[in-house]
Chain A
Amino acid sequence: MVSLNFYLSLSAMLFTIGVVGVLTRRNAIIVFMSIELMLNSVNLTLVAFSSFLGDATGQMLVFFVITIAAAEAAIGLAIIIALFRNKQTVNIDEINLLKW
């Protein structure tokens, strides 16, 4: 049987990949996708825990996370589109009117 630690390590790695993606990618949409990756790695963790603990709460939580991720996607894309309309770019390096 695959031990819990493998799941946890995998999800931790996925999470880290997501974080690195957020830190390195320039396209707002890809950054957002990286965040989705982070969320999904968390889902993996939750499911793993849920399974190993024999407790359904974790899985329940996963559903909520997925739902919220969906809502986030909707709102996030809307925001990106609104921005794109005004600025014609989704490169987050160029979105720096507000600073200091």
Chain B
Amino acid sequence: MYNLIGLVVLLPLIGAAVNGLVGWRIKNEKVIGIVGSATVGFSFVLSVLIFIEMLGRDVLNRAEVIDYFRWIGAGGLETSFAYQVDQLSILMTLVVTGVGFLIHVYSIGYMHGDPGFWRYFSYLNLFIFAMLNLVLADNFLLLFLGWEGVGLCSYLLIGFWYEKKFTGDAAKKAFVVNRIGDFGFLIGLFLIFVTFGTLKFEPLFLQASVMSVGEPVLFWITLMLFIGAVGKSAQIPLFVWLPDAMAGPTPVSALIHAATMVTAGVYMVARSATLYALAPLTLEIVAVIGLLTAVLAATIALTQNDIKKVLAYSTVSQLGYMFLALGVGAFWVGIFHVYTHAFFKALLFLGSGAVIHAMHHEQDIQKMGGLRKYMPKTYITFLIGAIAISGIPPLAGFFSKDEILAYVWHDGSVLLWVFAAITAGLTAFYMFRLVTLTFWGDPRFKEHGEHAKHPHEAPATMTVPLIILAVLSIIGGWVGIPKALGGGLAIKQFLAPVFERADRIMALPEHGVHAVDYVLILLSVAIAAAGIYVARLWYLKKPEIPGGLAKKYSGVYKVLSNKYYVDELYDAAIVNPTVKGSRKLLWRGIDVGIIDGIVNGLAKLVEIVSKYGRLVQVGVVQGYAVAFVFGIVFIIFWLLFR
């Protein structure tokens, strides 16, 4: 079965090609939708089969590289389209194809009637293809292909409704900011190649594992790779693109900007765990950046009123969480959170999509409220998602988040833990602020009369995925029930071989079950519950409190609601000076002014010399004769006296 991994990757590409090349002629949404979904579905089925085969294999024998054909080979560089099937990649594949399939199905309903229906599915399939390359690649270059490919699809899908200017801006921003990260990534690749002479994972990790901890080159390699991850996974300082990316269709936000693509950075760092384990300094940076991002994004999310923006900042925050996990060396936990987060964040986004769909593209939660009665299925599932992300047991989010907090605690940094816990509380708070404002209370939109909105439950193609995801959000975390709660940490065991080298280097103490673990669990649940309670209290019962707070601390509120003015800062500090400098100094100054000035000036000079020089030719014979005489005198002197 392993050999079929190529087919897993290829199927979505076929789907993309079919829809992309002939989709505009098909015109039948059903055909397009089915082609799009089925290819991904098949991929999912195949990867499940491979997964099952893997489970059947001996633990040491589970990883395998399937080499298809040579890609770029020159000099010492050899890269192939080769896919590495191992525990980590198959897990990611399952998530990508599984969640991807659900979102495809959902999109059939959501995108109904859109003139770009075929285009949409083509892009979405292409995305799956790229993402699979990313997670399955057996070398950094192929990973980079997927890496950039998903960036491209993200670009295409953010800018899907291209008639509006802001979608184009957002798409471009996403691509460019990602490119800044990719720049670092590329440098990382170069360093890797210079250091190890290969870009293939296995050989290079093998070589790296015998190097000593803290070697400078490893620090630089990991740091550069991390810059790539920062771009892709929207961490400080490159997170600015993700909130804007919500300009795309909501299922896209769910799939790309929540469940899969943005976690690519986490995946990549986990994949290079061996390298990171050898670079403790980088890991610290990763942890700090992750936590800072988590806090920052969570605080911004508190004040946002756009349903998708809230979710977007929540995503950024959760991604920060994942990096925090990686930063403390808990690579498998990072992946675990990727996995649970995929379910509940996809669910939340899809739910918000259903809401937006129902509200006729109204996204402001201040203009919603009381939707519970109009769309019960959406409400229930959304609520499950919110609970899951808040970290209430026994839903998925709880387990992964709890593991992160536990690792942070055991890492010995209380400060990190405190902030992480506060973030968890903030998360619960803003999620339930969202739930409250959207679904609870009284409607704040016109229910009757002219221009009234008539929210309605979404069609089955949309609700079924919601329900499946809701179920997954509940049970998904059960593969990682901690020992303290009597679980076996199945996912940790499963992933263990992948992180074996890293773990050996890190030599994290295998913490047993201590009393403190129970305290921590209780604390985190309590914080989450408190967050939920406060949100419900403030926004349902006593809405004057948040208003009052906003007034009282209007400065803080303004900063938060304006997202710390990061965009404005970037514009003023980087974008505008670059554009203006290029235009005025480089183009008009150097190019047109100096270089062309010299060129044209020389030509002018010759012309002027010519214009005045010709006047010597006065037209009078004797003038010429004088010149002759001067000439002959010169020649005589030259010949006689030199």
Contact = CB atoms under 8 A, between A and B. Distances in A.
Q: Do A's and B's CB atoms come within 8 Å in the complex?
A: yes
A19 B625 CA distance: 9
B622 A92 contact: yes
B618 A99 contact: yes
A1 interface: no
A100 B617 CA distance: 5
A100 B618 CA distance: 6
Contact of A22 (B614, B618, B625): B625
Contacts of B625: 19, 22-23
Interface string A80-100: 000000000000110111111
A15 B626 CA distance: 15
B629 interface: yes
A93 B624 CA distance: 12
A62 interface: no
Interface residues of A, number: 13
Contacts of A98: 619
A31 B626 CA distance: 13
A4 B629 CA distance: 26
A13 B113 CA distance: 109
B615 interface: yes
B615 A31 contact: no
A85 to B, nearest CB: 19
Contacts of B622: 22-24, 31, 92-93
B619 A92 contact: no
Contacts of A31: 621-622
Contacts of B60: none
A91 to B, nearest CB: 10
A19 B629 contact: yes
A93 B617 contact: no
Interface string B606-630: 0000000011011111100110010
Interface in A49-81: none
A97 B615 CA distance: 13
B626 A23 contact: yes
A92 B620 contact: yes
A92 B617 CA distance: 15
A99 B617 contact: yes
B620 A100 contact: no
A99 B621 contact: no
Grouping DSSP codes into helix (H, G, I), strand (E, B) and loop, the B interface class, with mixed when no group exceeds half, is helix
Nearest to A93: B620
Interface in B270-294: none
Interface string A30-42: 0100000000000
B629 A96 contact: no
Contacts of B618: 96, 99
Interface string B589-614: 00000000000000000000000001
Contacts of B621: 31, 92, 95
A81 to B, nearest CB: 17
B451 to A, nearest CB: 83
A92 B625 CA distance: 12
A89 B81 CA distance: 94
Interface in A1-25: 19, 22-24
A99 B618 CA distance: 6
Nearest to B621: A92
Nearest to B632: A19
Nearest to B613: A100
Contacts of B614: 100
A23 B619 contact: no
Nearest to A26: B622
A99 B615 CA distance: 8
Interface centre among A31, A96, A97, A100 (most CB of B within 10 A): A100
B626 A96 contact: no
Nearest to A97: B619
A100 B398 CA distance: 95
Nearest to A100: B614
A92 B626 CA distance: 14
B340 to A, nearest CB: 90
A100 B619 contact: yes
A98 B618 CA distance: 9
Nearest to A28: B621
A96 B629 CA distance: 20
A95 B619 CA distance: 8
B621 to A, nearest CB: 5
A31 B615 CA distance: 24
Contacts of A96: 618-620
A23 to B, nearest CB: 6
A95 B621 CA distance: 8
Contacts of A95: 620-621
B220 to A, nearest CB: 69
A100 B619 CA distance: 7
B620 A23 contact: no
B629 A99 contact: no
Contacts of B626: 23
A96 B617 CA distance: 10
Nearest to B619: A99
Nearest to A24: B622
Which among A31, A95, A98, A99 has the highest number of chain B CB atoms within 10 Å?
Answer: A99
B244 to A, nearest CB: 67
Interface string B137-162: 00000000000000000000000000
A22 B629 CA distance: 11
Given A23-B622, A93-B620, A100 B629 contact: no
Contacts of A24: 622
A23 B617 contact: no
Interface string B289-310: 0000000000000000000000
Interface string B210-231: 0000000000000000000000
B629 A23 contact: yes
A24 B621 CA distance: 11
A95 B625 CA distance: 15
Nearest to B616: A100
Contacts of A19: 625, 629
| Top 6 closest pairs, chain A to chain B, by CB | A99-B619, A96-B619, A100-B614, A92-B621, A96-B620, A100-B617
Given A23-B626, A93-B620, A99-B619, 8 more contacts: A22-B622, A23-B629, A31-B622, A95-B621, A98-B619, A99-B618, A100-B615, A100-B619
19 contacts: A19-B629, A22-B622, A22-B625, A23-B622, A23-B626, A23-B629, A24-B622, A31-B622, A92-B620, A92-B622, A93-B620, A95-B621, A96-B619, A96-B620, A99-B618, A99-B619, A100-B614, A100-B615, A100-B619
Interface of A: 19, 22-24, 31, 92-93, 95-100
